[in-house]
């Protein structure tokens, strides 16, 4: 009975902040569906407008819960939209090319961070989000990396930056590839390999043709599929750096993500259930982003300076250049 009573007290303390985050998420979803702008960006901006509620006693605890626990649940459920069978058509050449592009981009992120005097945490956040799947990757990586006093604002900056760059790329890349005389398959591969967020990949790919859209979606899903691999590598590297391999413990949400991905890949999750889980993941992630927005002070974001922008723009240009070179010499198999 005591534990039940504690649970009720905890739920009561969390409810106002959770309700705030969910309400912001619902508003962001509505605006995104009616105006065609990225839902993550709406959630962030609306959340920031409610920053004054972050430290209030009634809402503070629930907002923190939404930005951490709900975030991890959303990442776990991301596994329900990934299946290894979807990427079989790319072949070994495409798989190796995409993996190589991701590894090179993350490595380049460390170089950029050093050049522009940013820390290694920021290098992993930006390099990983550009290389893998934008905002979702940034949130997942942030949950693995040991936090410091700059973590939250760096995460928010990364989410805003990759979402903005993805939207710009969705408009510019199809035109650019068309002028360059690339085939639909080549354009689709480049869009899937370089645009950060899934929604913008789909929009850019199918704006060219069905073939380009299908190729872009499969390549993008391949990048998303490699997210748990990157999370495991980062988690092991951080654990070794701090306490050695004897104390390595993978976060439970990483394990859950991997298990759900394998279950979906082997057909253990029925189609309707997978769709439901993916929808739930979307809501959880948008709710978490809304909560992070509430916890973000706009002045602190503005204090980050131009070097943050330079790092993520350089990583984006590097990925596009490298992917284009791979397509030009035939490494992508398209």
Task: Provide the mean pLDDT of the chain.
Answer: 82
| pLDDT of 81 above 90 | no
Handedness of CA 120, 126, 129, 134 (dihedral sign): positive
| pLDDT of 58 above 90 | no
Who wins on pLDDT, 198 or 241?
198
Q: Would you state the pLDDT for residue 111?
A: 94
Averaged over 116-122, what is the pLDDT? Answer: 89
Averaged over 57-72, what is the pLDDT? Answer: 84
| pLDDT of 334 above 70 | no
Q: Would you state the pLDDT for residue 248?
A: 45
**Confidence class of residue 245 from pLDDT cuts 50, 70 and 90?**
very low
Cβ contacts of 140-145, under 8 Å, gap ≥ 24: 140/75, 140/78, 140/227, 140/231, 140/257, 141/230, 141/231, 141/234, 143/68, 143/71, 143/72, 143/75, 143/251, 143/253, 144/231, 144/234, 144/235, 144/238, 144/251, 144/254, 145/121, 145/234, 145/238
Q: Would you state the pLDDT for residue 299?
A: 64
Averaged over 82-89, what is the pLDDT? Answer: 62
* Model pLDDT for residues 207-233, shown as the tens digit of each residue: 788 788 878 877 887 787 788 888 888
Who wins on pLDDT, 162 or 244?
162
């Amino acid at each position: 009975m005591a534990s039940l009573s504690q649970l009720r007290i905890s739920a009561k303390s969390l409810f106002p902040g959770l309700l705030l985050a969910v309400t912001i998420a619902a508003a962001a979803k509505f605006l995104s569906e009616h105006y065609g702008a990225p839902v993550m960006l709406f959630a962030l901006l609306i959340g920031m407008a409610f920053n004054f509620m972050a430290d209030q006693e009634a809402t503070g605890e629930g907002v923190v819960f939404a930005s951490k626990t709900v975030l991890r649940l959303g990442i776990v459920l991301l596994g329900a939209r990934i299946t290894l069978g979807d990427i079989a058509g790319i072949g070994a050449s495409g798989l190796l090319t995409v993996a190589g592009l991701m590894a090179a981009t993350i490595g380049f992120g460390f170089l950029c961070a050093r050049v522009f005097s940013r820390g290694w945490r920021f290098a992993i956040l930006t390099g990983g989000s550009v290389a893998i799947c934008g905002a979702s990757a940034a949130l997942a990586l942030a949950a693995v990396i040991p936090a410091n006093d700059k973590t939250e604002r760096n995460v928010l900056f990364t989410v805003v930056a990759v979402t903005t760059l993805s939207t710009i790329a969705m408009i510019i890349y199809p035109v650019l590839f068309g002028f360059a005389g690339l085939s639909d398959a080549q354009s689709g591969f480049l869009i899937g390999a370089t645009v950060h967020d899934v929604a913008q990949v789909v929009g850019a790919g199918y704006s060219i043709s069905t073939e380009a859209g299908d190729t872009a979606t499969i390549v993008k899903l391949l990048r998303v599929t490699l997210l748990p691999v990157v999370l495991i590598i980062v988690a092991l590297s951080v654990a070794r750096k701090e306490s050695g391999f004897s104390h390595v413990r993978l976060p439970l949400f990483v394990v859950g993500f991997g298990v759900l991905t394998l279950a979906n890949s082997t057909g253990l999750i029925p189609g309707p259930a997978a769709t439901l889980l993916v929808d739930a993941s979307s809501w959880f992630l948008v709710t978490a982003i809304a909560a992070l927005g509430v916890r973000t002070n706009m002045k602190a974001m503005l204090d980050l300076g131009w070097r943050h922008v330079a790092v993520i723009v350089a990583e984006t240009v590097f990925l596009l250049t490298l992917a284009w070179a791979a397509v030009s010499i035939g490494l992508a198999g398209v």
